[in-house]
Amino acid sequence: MSDLKIKYAGSIDYDDDNGEWTDDIIWGNNYAEFIEDMKAHMKKRNNSSVFFAAKYVNDKERDITSQVKADCRG
């Protein structure tokens, strides 16, 4: 049995109610649910976009920003 631990994290940047740039972090253990959470959060924010995204496998980080940006648009 594998002890493989996979997590996803992403940052959504947006304009707050005062027009200031800010961001929120979204975490997930399942990629499909992570993307749905990112999309849902982005719909609630003004001028939102994916700022960064990473996949963590056993605490080693891999940049998946481009993939997440594409999946959030789709």
The count of other CB atoms within 10 Å of the CB of residue 59 is: 7
Q: Of 60, 59, 51, 4, nearest to 26 (Cα)?
A: 51
> How far is 61 from 57, CA to CA, in rounded Å?
7
The pLDDT assigned to 57 comes to: 95
* Tokens read off for 30: 């399942």
> How far is 18 from 29, CA to CA, in rounded Å?
33
The pLDDT assigned to 74 comes to: 74
The pLDDT assigned to 55 comes to: 97
The pLDDT assigned to 40 comes to: 96
> How far is 5 from 72, CA to CA, in rounded Å?
23
pTM for this model (two decimals): 0.87
Mean pLDDT, 10 residues at a time, the chain of 74 residues: 83 94 96 97 94 95 98 90
